[in-house]
Structure 1
Amino acid sequence: MRLTLVLAPYDSGHHHAGMGLGPEAILAGGLVEALTLNGHDVAVEDIGEVGDAQGREITTGFAVCRAVAEKVRESIAAGRFPVVLAGNCLTAAGAVAGEGADAIVWADQHGDINTPETSTWGYLDGMALATVLGLCWRPLTASIPGFHTIDPARCLLVDARDLDPDEKRLLESLPILRAPCGDAVAQVEKLKAAGATKAHLHLDLDVHDPALLQANRYATPGGPSPEELRRMACGVARSIPVAGVTISAYDPAYDPKAEVPPLVGELLNELLAALERI
């Protein structure tokens, strides 16, 4: 398969810091080589430095989304499948805009469904899925070329074991589908029944059980194994057209044995194989 790895190396407005070091660490761990050995034609595109010199989280976060949307759109126009390696989950809004996806499968230990009105931390990335679903930051998402909100009825939230009280209340009021990793693929037919035709697959690496694989400092007990996440991703790919993928939230400082990069390579190779069989 011809694909483009789009690098968005930012964490909370900071370039090449924290989880913003993750995309290049994954590359340094042999991702391009692993994909190439499996016959894939791989291009790498870095969005470069965007935002403002002060590294303001909101300004830079949405500048990253705009840059990613453009890179993803260019990739698709060139006949290449887009895979975004991101520090922050908000970056998925840019990927969705570039792809024109009308559904989303969001695998994450967090709900990322807070809004500025519900967030007690003020953490922009904790509002990432809410942003994609049009629950907040509408003036800023309007600045992302091609962005359209995704109907909550066409959203599948996978795992999400660590939720704030307000997130739990909001999820009870919305038609978002929820499932543990092992049951997620069975829910895809409900996305299609709600009108989904092509989905974006978002994989926050802290969805993993940290006893088996720790991706960052936010990890809490529970969650799938790397093998279970791969099975889920491949099952989704066999069940609905996948427009593109984001892989986010890897902080190499919390992975002293560098276990995450080769597992990302395995995940993507299995996922691409599933897509090619369709």
Structure 2
Amino acid sequence: MKLSVILAPYDSGLYHAGCGQGPDAIIAGGLVDELAFRGHHVVVEDIGEVGDAQKREIATGFAVCRAVATKVDMGRDDERFPIVLTGNCLTAAGAVAGDTADSIIWIDQHGDLNTPETSAYGFLDGMALATTLGLCWRPMTSAIPGFQAIDPSRCMLVDARDLDPDERRLLATLPIIRAQWADALDNVGKLKAAGAAQVHLHLDLDVHDPDVLQVNRYARPGGPNPEQLRQLVCGLAKSIPIVGVTLSAYDPAFDAKGEVPPVVGQLLGDFLAALARI
């Protein structure tokens, strides 16, 4: 398979800081070799430094989305399947625009469903899914090439074990499909029934059980182990058309033994093998 691996090494508007170091660490940990060994043709592209000189988080975050949307779209013109490695979940809005997804599976320990009106901390990345669903930041997403908000009925939120009270209240009003990692495959039919035809898979690596694999400072107890998550994404690849992937939120500073990159390599390798068998 022809692959486009796109690096968006930003964390909260900062280049190569915190989780923004994750994409390069995953590449340095052997991802390209793993995928090439499995027979894939891999092109790696870094979006480079974007945004303004003041490095304002909001402006830079959406500049990253625009750059990623453009890279994904260019890769698709060359018939390459897009894999976006990024520090922030918000980048998924750009990936969704680039791969023209009409639905999304969001696997994350967080809901990322705050808005500027509900966020207690003003953390932009905590609004990532809300942004992708068109619930906030509409003037900013309108500038992302090709962006179309995903209808909440065509969103499956998996795990989300760490939710703010306002996120819980919002979820009660939306037709988002809720699932735990153990029963997510059982809910794919609901996504198809809602009209999902081109699905973007967003995977925040802190969904992992931190007692087994620590990926950043935000991880909370619970979640799948690497084998369970790998089985889930492979099952999804066989069950519904997936047109692109984002992986986010790996901070190498919390992975002293370098355990995460090999896990990512095996997960993506097995996922792509399952995708090819559709």
Aligned to 2:120: 120
Aligned to 1:20: 20
Aligned to 1:150: 150
Question: How big is each residue's C-alpha offset from its partner over 1:155-196, in whole Å with a ceiling of 9 and x where there is no partner?
Answer: 000000000000011001101011111110111111110111
Question: How big is each residue's C-alpha offset from its partner over 1:8-61, in whole Å with a ceiling of 9 and x where there is no partner?
Answer: 000000000000000000000010011111111110010011001221110000
Aligned to 2:171: 171
Q: Which runs of 4+ in 1 moved over 6 A?
A: none
1:48 match: secondary structure: coil
1:135 match: secondary structure: coil
Per-residue deviation, 1:237: 1.0
1:157 match: secondary structure: strand
Q: Percent identity?
A: 70
> Which whole-Å CA distance do the structure 2 matches of 1:231 and 1:52 have between them?
41
Aligned to 1:141: 141
What letter corresponds to residue 148 of structure 1 in structure 2? Q
What letter corresponds to residue 231 of structure 1 in structure 2? Q
Q: Is 1:229 aligned with 2:229?
A: yes
1:114 match: secondary structure: coil
> Which whole-Å CA distance do the structure 1 matches of 2:39 and 2:243 have between them?
20
Aligned residue pairs: how many? 278
Q: Is 1:219 aligned with 2:219?
A: yes
Q: TM-score, normalised by structure 1?
A: 0.99
Q: Is 1:188 aligned with 2:188?
A: yes
Q: Is 1:32 aligned with 2:10?
A: no
> Which whole-Å CA distance do the structure 2 matches of 1:20 and 1:55 have between them?
14
> Which whole-Å CA distance do the structure 1 matches of 2:138 and 2:227 have between them?
37
Question: How big is each residue's C-alpha offset from its partner over 1:209-268, in whole Å with a ceiling of 9 and x where there is no partner?
Answer: 000001100000000111111111111111111010000000000000010000000000
Aligned to 2:208: 208
Aligned to 1:104: 104
Question: How big is each residue's C-alpha offset from its partner over 1:85-142, in whole Å with a ceiling of 9 and x where there is no partner?
Answer: 0000000000000011000000000000000000000000000000000000000000
What letter corresponds to residue 132 of structure 1 in structure 2? T
> Which whole-Å CA distance do the structure 1 matches of 2:261 and 2:54 have between them?
30
Per-residue deviation, 1:198: 1.0
> Which whole-Å CA distance do the structure 1 matches of 2:41 and 2:150 have between them?
31
2:54 match: secondary structure: coil
Aligned to 2:79: 79
1:220 match: secondary structure: coil
Aligned to 2:240: 240
The Cα RMSD (Å) is 0.5
> Which whole-Å CA distance do the structure 1 matches of 2:255 and 2:178 have between them?
29
Q: Is 1:271 aligned with 2:271?
A: yes
> Which whole-Å CA distance do the structure 2 matches of 1:55 and 1:211 have between them?
35
2:108 match: secondary structure: strand
Structure 2: gaps (5+ residues): none
> Which whole-Å CA distance do the structure 1 matches of 2:109 and 2:54 have between them?
30
> Which whole-Å CA distance do the structure 2 matches of 1:42 and 1:181 have between them?
29
